[in-house]
Amino acid sequence: MKEEVTLNRKEQNRLVVMNQIEGRKLTVDKAAPLLELSPRHVWRLLTAYRKEGASALTHGNRGRKPVNTIEEDLRRQVVELAEDKYYGFNQQHFTEKLADKEGISLSRSTVRRILLARGIRSPFFYCGLNSIVTGKSPVSVKTV
Protein backbone atom coordinates (compact mmCIF):
# COMPACT_ATOMS: atom_id res chain seq x y z
CA MET A 1 0.00 0.00 0.00
CA LYS A 2 1.46 3.33 -1.07
CA GLU A 3 1.37 6.33 1.20
CA GLU A 4 -0.26 9.48 -0.17
CA VAL A 5 2.04 12.49 -0.14
CA THR A 6 1.02 16.10 -0.65
CA LEU A 7 3.66 18.26 -2.29
CA ASN A 8 3.79 22.03 -2.43
CA ARG A 9 4.84 23.85 -5.62
CA LYS A 10 8.57 23.83 -4.74
CA GLU A 11 8.48 20.10 -3.97
CA GLN A 12 6.55 19.37 -7.17
CA ASN A 13 9.26 21.19 -9.13
CA ARG A 14 11.89 19.09 -7.38
CA LEU A 15 9.98 15.92 -8.27
CA VAL A 16 9.85 16.88 -11.96
CA VAL A 17 13.60 17.59 -11.99
CA MET A 18 14.38 14.33 -10.14
CA ASN A 19 12.34 12.39 -12.71
CA GLN A 20 14.28 14.11 -15.51
CA ILE A 21 17.56 13.16 -13.84
CA GLU A 22 16.36 9.57 -13.47
CA GLY A 23 15.32 9.52 -17.15
CA ARG A 24 18.78 10.83 -18.08
CA LYS A 25 17.29 13.92 -19.69
CA LEU A 26 19.09 16.16 -17.21
CA THR A 27 22.39 15.97 -15.34
CA VAL A 28 22.89 16.81 -11.67
CA ASP A 29 25.16 19.71 -12.62
CA LYS A 30 22.47 21.24 -14.84
CA ALA A 31 19.69 20.48 -12.33
CA ALA A 32 21.43 22.26 -9.45
CA PRO A 33 20.87 25.82 -10.77
CA LEU A 34 17.28 24.97 -11.70
CA LEU A 35 16.59 23.95 -8.09
CA GLU A 36 18.79 26.71 -6.68
CA LEU A 37 20.81 24.07 -4.82
CA SER A 38 24.39 22.89 -4.86
CA PRO A 39 25.20 19.75 -6.90
CA ARG A 40 26.10 18.02 -3.63
CA HIS A 41 22.65 18.71 -2.20
CA VAL A 42 20.99 17.53 -5.43
CA TRP A 43 22.89 14.24 -5.08
CA ARG A 44 21.65 13.94 -1.50
CA LEU A 45 18.06 14.56 -2.61
CA LEU A 46 18.43 12.10 -5.49
CA THR A 47 19.71 9.37 -3.15
CA ALA A 48 16.83 9.93 -0.74
CA TYR A 49 14.35 10.05 -3.66
CA ARG A 50 15.60 6.68 -4.92
CA LYS A 51 15.13 5.14 -1.45
CA GLU A 52 11.89 6.75 -0.26
CA GLY A 53 10.23 8.14 -3.37
CA ALA A 54 8.42 11.48 -3.45
CA SER A 55 8.05 11.61 0.34
CA ALA A 56 11.82 12.25 0.56
CA LEU A 57 11.26 15.65 -1.05
CA THR A 58 8.90 16.89 1.67
CA HIS A 59 10.09 18.66 4.80
CA GLY A 60 10.73 16.30 7.70
CA ASN A 61 8.72 18.32 10.23
CA ARG A 62 5.57 18.55 8.15
CA GLY A 63 2.49 17.74 10.22
CA ARG A 64 4.30 17.94 13.54
CA LYS A 65 3.49 20.35 16.33
CA PRO A 66 6.32 22.84 17.01
CA VAL A 67 8.28 22.13 20.18
CA ASN A 68 7.90 25.72 21.42
CA THR A 69 4.10 25.74 21.28
CA ILE A 70 2.30 27.09 24.36
CA GLU A 71 -0.35 24.63 25.55
CA GLU A 72 -3.98 25.75 25.25
CA ASP A 73 -4.58 25.25 29.00
CA LEU A 74 -1.74 27.65 29.82
CA ARG A 75 -3.05 30.18 27.29
CA ARG A 76 -6.51 29.96 28.85
CA GLN A 77 -5.05 30.43 32.36
CA VAL A 78 -3.10 33.54 31.25
CA VAL A 79 -6.22 35.05 29.67
CA GLU A 80 -8.34 34.33 32.78
CA LEU A 81 -5.75 35.93 35.06
CA ALA A 82 -5.50 38.98 32.78
CA GLU A 83 -9.28 39.42 32.79
CA ASP A 84 -9.83 38.86 36.52
CA LYS A 85 -7.05 38.94 39.10
CA TYR A 86 -4.67 41.21 37.17
CA TYR A 87 -7.21 43.33 35.31
CA GLY A 88 -5.83 46.73 34.36
CA PHE A 89 -2.16 45.68 34.53
CA ASN A 90 -0.03 46.57 31.53
CA GLN A 91 1.63 43.69 29.74
CA GLN A 92 5.08 44.15 31.27
CA HIS A 93 3.74 44.31 34.84
CA PHE A 94 1.34 41.43 34.17
CA THR A 95 4.22 39.28 32.87
CA GLU A 96 6.24 40.02 36.00
CA LYS A 97 3.28 39.10 38.26
CA LEU A 98 2.78 35.86 36.34
CA ALA A 99 6.38 34.90 37.07
CA ASP A 100 6.46 36.10 40.70
CA LYS A 101 3.02 35.18 42.04
CA GLU A 102 1.72 32.47 39.69
CA GLY A 103 4.94 30.66 38.75
CA ILE A 104 4.24 31.07 35.03
CA SER A 105 7.44 32.03 33.24
CA LEU A 106 6.70 33.47 29.81
CA SER A 107 8.33 36.27 27.85
CA ARG A 108 6.54 39.61 27.60
CA SER A 109 6.15 39.18 23.84
CA THR A 110 4.54 35.75 24.32
CA VAL A 111 2.08 37.15 26.88
CA ARG A 112 1.35 40.05 24.52
CA ARG A 113 0.69 37.64 21.62
CA ILE A 114 -1.64 35.48 23.76
CA LEU A 115 -3.62 38.50 24.98
CA LEU A 116 -3.87 40.14 21.56
CA ALA A 117 -5.14 36.88 20.05
CA ARG A 118 -8.04 37.10 22.53
CA GLY A 119 -8.62 40.81 21.88
CA ILE A 120 -7.11 42.04 25.16
CA ARG A 121 -4.92 45.11 24.76
CA SER A 122 -2.69 46.86 27.24
CA PRO A 123 -4.58 49.47 29.30
CA PHE A 124 -2.17 52.12 28.02
CA PHE A 125 -3.60 51.57 24.55
CA TYR A 126 -7.03 52.73 25.69
CA CYS A 127 -6.36 55.61 28.05
CA GLY A 128 -2.65 56.27 28.33
CA LEU A 129 -2.30 58.34 25.18
CA ASN A 130 -5.30 60.45 26.10
CA SER A 131 -3.87 61.23 29.54
CA ILE A 132 -0.56 62.28 28.02
CA VAL A 133 -2.25 64.63 25.56
CA THR A 134 -4.92 66.11 27.86
CA GLY A 135 -3.02 65.98 31.16
CA LYS A 136 -5.97 64.21 32.83
CA SER A 137 -5.41 60.98 34.70
CA PRO A 138 -6.86 57.86 33.08
CA VAL A 139 -9.88 56.19 34.63
CA SER A 140 -10.03 52.40 34.66
CA VAL A 141 -13.52 51.00 34.16
CA LYS A 142 -14.22 47.31 34.16
CA THR A 143 -17.05 46.28 31.87
CA VAL A 144 -18.71 42.93 32.25
What letter represents residue 127's amino acid?
C
- The answer to whether position 23 is within a domain reads yes
Residues 86 and 112 in one domain: yes
Residues 42 and 88 in one domain: no
**Predicted pLDDT at 128:** 52
Rounded CA-CA distance 6/11 in Å is 9
Residues 87 and 119 in one domain: yes
The whole model's pTM is what? 0.54
**Rg (alpha carbons) of the chain, rounded to whole number:** 26
Residues 53 and 93 in one domain: no
**Predicted pLDDT at 79:** 93
Residues 47 and 87 in one domain: no
Q: 48 lies in which domain range?
A: 9-57
End-to-end CA distance of the chain: 57
Per-residue pLDDT of the chain (144 residues; tens, 9 = 90+): 467 888 889 999 999 999 999 999 999 999 999 999 999 999 999 999 999 999 899 888 888 888 888 899 999 999 999 988 888 888 889 999 999 999 999 999 999 999 999 888 877 655 555 555 555 555 555 555
Contact predicate 55/80, CB 8 Å: no
- The answer to whether position 119 is within a domain reads yes
- The answer to whether position 89 is within a domain reads yes
Contact predicate 23/31, CB 8 Å: no
